[in-house]
């Protein structure tokens, strides 16, 4: 039901599919039907199916032919990957666009001594799609951290991999709004293929095998329903809570996001006001959401653009309208909703057009300091969430982040340090608590913050915080130290490395840890148990094979 509702609500995204995925990804009439073959070569199946734990990675530009994702015999451990942007060379009844590959198909595309062969065969390294021609991608780092194992050993065979490579256009949109449909489809794909793979494993074993599944989703947004009511969190919670006859427990691992210090979150009581700084030369829209509490009255707002007289938004029931300047040009669009039914939360969304639109005839908002006056609100006040204007590392994008402005809020201390928590004594309306990604607000997801390797355990200053101020359920190192951000992680080519930072890298380390702990027989039914078990085993965070080097299967044997 939640999945179907997603399709209904995001129908406009589906209607825009030709603009959001590569034109080659939409199956042409007559595209041959793919055979429903095995997920893995027989020798790539887990040695001991009772200890197998499936790992799923949903990201962009995942190097599915990387040696870290193979067995010692060079066979792919990737049981299925949905390349949403790739040309549709064959068709499956449940793949709407792009191409699905199974392990044996990946094996057939790989060529010894030619690490790009599989990507080239799918058109992922040439004109139209260069995603796998780059040496470094977000998906390469995340997939390696979550599921990469030394191809010289067979530890990885216990962890068949499922993956979805999201389309580039959905991720270059800087607010993350368009990606939601693709992410939901990716989650559904992972569940469908995990269940089918588990059935194949049971068939091979001659008895019922129920492998657990750990899903890593290193993506996030900053605005939306932060109470777990968003469709994405509801779907993940529902999956984690359900018991399927052919699959073990499903865990979702997500980062808490990197926006603690970005002034994107505030809390206002009725009668208070806050500034909203809109940057110049921004080619993307800027938006803020103002959420009331469940069942309380709808928020009423007065708004002022730079150098204008404040105007009251005359919406007292759900509806929408535009703010125009004296010449009739649109300066803002404002939508009032009550989300989640009659007893749901009032949500007022203010959307400004770009300050420097690509089309010079399109509406443009004035840059500078806007003012938001919350004239009326319920007794609980309202939470403000500014949409992010960000993109994954390695992807092009020209968005410039708008921020809330309160003169009492200091982004840094006088000696240049980043404050870690809210200081009520300042009276600032801007909050650091509650800056965790809105995707990660479910009741069952595992939320992961970033920390420094040295001093060990120090939480990275950018890590988004849950409403109670915690940097997630657990943290994992994503920075060498406060002075040396980032960590060295694999790139696309077998020998390439990249330096990346952020909670996106912390989450897959916990995915990896959880998969290995479950393989070792740990019983981790919920995140409370995970916190305790993680604290107990923290010093045994799994080692990462590329730190000591690993043998490429093609390399000649040492003398």
Q: Which of 291, 379, 376, 374 is nearest to 336 (CA)?
A: 291
From 172, 202, 261, 337, residue interacting with another protein (rule: CB under 8 A): 337
Q: Which is nearer to another protein, 2 or 493 (CB)?
A: 2
Give dist(CA 402, CA 365) in Å, integer. 12
Contact 322, 272 (CB under 8 A): no
Torsion, CA 78, CA 82, CA 85, CA 86, rounded to 10: 60
Cβ count within 10 A of residue 258: 25
Contact 534, 513 (CB under 8 A): yes
Contact 473, 531 (CB under 8 A): yes
From 49, 295, 318, 486, residue interacting with another protein (rule: CB under 8 A): 318
Helical (H) or strand (E) element with 532 = helix 527-537
Residues 371-400, one symbol each (x = binds another protein by CB under 8 A, - = not), give: ----------------x-------------
Minimum Å gap between C-beta 323 and another protein is 5
Residue with tokens 């653009």: 305
Cβ count within 10 A of residue 481: 13
Order across the sheet with 161-165: list the strands: 99-102, 78-83, 161-165, 54-59, 213-217, 250-255, 446-452, 474-479
Beta bridge partner(s), residue 337: 347
> Exposed, middle or buried by CB within 10 Å (0-12, 13-18, 19+), for 165?
buried
From 331, 452, 461, 474, residue interacting with another protein (rule: CB under 8 A): 331
Minimum Å gap between C-beta 471 and another protein is 28
The verdict on 15 binding another protein (CB under 8 A) reads: yes
Q: Which is nearer to another protein, 14 or 538 (CB)?
A: 14
CA-CA-CA-CA torsion sign (242, 246, 251, 254):
negative
The verdict on 17 binding another protein (CB under 8 A) reads: yes
Q: Which of 463, 462, 487 is nearest to 544 (CA)?
A: 487
Residue with tokens 């994954």: 392
Check whether the bond before 455 is cis (ω within 30° of 0): yes
From 202, 277, 308, 496, residue interacting with another protein (rule: CB under 8 A): 308
From 146, 287, 365, 450, residue interacting with another protein (rule: CB under 8 A): 287
The verdict on 177 binding another protein (CB under 8 A) reads: yes
The distance in angstroms from the start CA to the end CA of the chain is: 60
Give dist(CA 148, CA 170) in Å, integer. 26
User: Of 17-25, 120-128, 419-427, 496-504, which part binds another protein (CB under 8 A)?
Assistant: 17-25
Residue with tokens 């992010």: 388
Count of residues interacting with another protein (CB under 8 A): 66
User: Of 50-58, 206-214, 314-322, 395-403, which part binds another protein (CB under 8 A)?
Assistant: 314-322
Minimum Å gap between C-beta 295 and another protein is 14
Question: Nearest 5°: phi and psi at 184?
Answer: -60, -45
The verdict on 94 binding another protein (CB under 8 A) reads: yes
From 338, 373, 405, 499, residue interacting with another protein (rule: CB under 8 A): 338
From 116, 154, 227, 246, residue interacting with another protein (rule: CB under 8 A): 246
Q: Which is nearer to another protein, 12 or 206 (CB)?
A: 12
Q: Which is nearer to another protein, 39 or 462 (CB)?
A: 39
Please report, as residue ranges, which positions from 19 to 48 form the binding site for another protein (by CB under 8 A). 19, 26-27
From 125, 175, 218, 511, residue interacting with another protein (rule: CB under 8 A): 175
440-449 in b/e form (b: 16+ CB < 10 A) is: bbbebbbbbb
Residues 96-125, one symbol each (x = binds another protein by CB under 8 A, - = not), give: xx----------------------------
Exposure of 386 in the CB half-sphere (CA atoms within 13 A): 29
Contact 437, 221 (CB under 8 A): yes
Q: Which is nearer to another protein, 34 or 500 (CB)?
A: 34
The verdict on 196 binding another protein (CB under 8 A) reads: yes
User: Of 14-22, 106-114, 121-129, 145-153, which part binds another protein (CB under 8 A)?
Assistant: 14-22
From 154, 173, 227, 533, residue interacting with another protein (rule: CB under 8 A): 173
Q: Which is nearer to another protein, 13 or 141 (CB)?
A: 13
The verdict on 11 binding another protein (CB under 8 A) reads: yes
And the tokens for 519? 């393989």
The verdict on 192 binding another protein (CB under 8 A) reads: yes
Q: Which of 257, 301, 306 is nearest to 280 (CA)?
A: 306
The verdict on 201 binding another protein (CB under 8 A) reads: no
Query: What residues make contact with another protein under the rule CB under 8 A?
Result: 3-4, 7, 9-19, 26-27, 92-97, 173, 175, 177-178, 180, 185, 188-189, 191-192, 195-196, 246, 285, 287, 305, 307-309, 311, 313-314, 318-326, 331, 333, 335, 337-341, 344, 349, 351, 353, 387
């Amino acid at each position: 039901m939640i999945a179907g509702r997603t399709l209904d609500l995001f129908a406009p995204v589906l209607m825009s599919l030709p603009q959001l995925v590569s034109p080659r990804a939409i199956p042409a009439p007559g595209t041959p039907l793919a055979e429903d073959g095995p997920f893995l070569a027989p020798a790539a199946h887990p040695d001991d199916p009772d200890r197998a734990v499936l790992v799923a990675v949903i990201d962009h530009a995942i190097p599915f032919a990387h040696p870290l994702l193979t067995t010692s015999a060079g066979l792919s451990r990737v049981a299925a990957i949905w390349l949403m942007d790739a040309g549709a060379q064959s068709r499956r009844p449940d793949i709407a666009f792009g191409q699905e590959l199974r392990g044996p198909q990946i094996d057939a595309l790989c060529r010894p001594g030619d690490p790009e062969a599989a990507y080239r065969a799918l058109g992922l390294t040439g004109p139209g799609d260069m995603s796998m021609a780059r040496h470094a991608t977000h998906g390469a780092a995340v997939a390696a951290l979550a599921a990469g194992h030394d191809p010289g050993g067979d530890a990885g065979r216990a962890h068949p991999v499922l993956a979805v490579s999201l389309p580039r256009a959905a991720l270059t949109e800087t607010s993350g709004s368009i990606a939601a449909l693709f992410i939901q489809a990716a989650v559904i794909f992972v569940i469908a293929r995990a269940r089918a793979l588990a059935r194949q494993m049971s068939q091979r074993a001659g008895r019922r095998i129920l492998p657990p599944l750990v899903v890593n989703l290193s993506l996030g947004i900053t605005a939306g329903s932060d109470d777990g009511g968003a469709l994405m969190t509801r779907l993940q919670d529902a999956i984690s809570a359900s018991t399927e006859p052919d699959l073990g427990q499903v865990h979702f691992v997500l980062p808490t996001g990197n926006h603690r210090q970005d002034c994107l979150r505030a809390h206002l009581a009725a009668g208070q006001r806050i500034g909203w700084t809109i940057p110049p030369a921004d080619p993307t829209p800027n938006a803020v959401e103002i959420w009331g509490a469940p069942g309380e009255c709808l928020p009423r707002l007065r708004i002022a653009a730079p150098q204008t007289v404040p105007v009251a938004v005359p919406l007292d029931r759900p509806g929408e309208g535009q703010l125009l300047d004296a010449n009739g040009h649109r300066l803002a669009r404002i939508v009032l909703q009550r989300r989640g039914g009659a007893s749901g939360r009032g949500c007022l969304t203010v959307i400004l057009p770009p300050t420097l639109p690509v089309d010079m005839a399109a509406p443009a908002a004035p840059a500078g300091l806007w003012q938001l006056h919350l004239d009326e609100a319920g007794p609980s006040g309202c939470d403000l969430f500014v949409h992010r204007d960000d993109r994954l590392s390695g992807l092009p994008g020209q968005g410039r982040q708008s921020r809330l402005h309160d003169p009492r809020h200091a982004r840094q201390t006088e000696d240049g340090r980043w404050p870690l928590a809210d200081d009520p004594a300042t009276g600032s309306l801007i909050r650091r608590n509650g800056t965790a990604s809105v995707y990660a607000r479910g009741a069952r997801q595992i939320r992961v913050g970033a920390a420094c390797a040295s001093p060990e355990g120090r939480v990275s200053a950018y890590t988004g915080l849950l409403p109670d101020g915690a940097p997630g359920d657990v943290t994992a190192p994503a920075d060498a130290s406060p002075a040396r951000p980032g960590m060295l992680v694999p790139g696309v080519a077998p020998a390439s490395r990249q330096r990346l930072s952020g909670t996106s890298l912390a989450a897959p380390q916990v995915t990896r840890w959880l998969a290995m702990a479950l393989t070792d027989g740990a019983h981790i039914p919920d995140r409370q148990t995970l916190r305790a078990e993680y604290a107990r085993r923290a010093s045994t965070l799994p080692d990462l094979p590329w730190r000591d080097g690993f043998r490429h299967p093609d390399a000649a044997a040492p003398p």
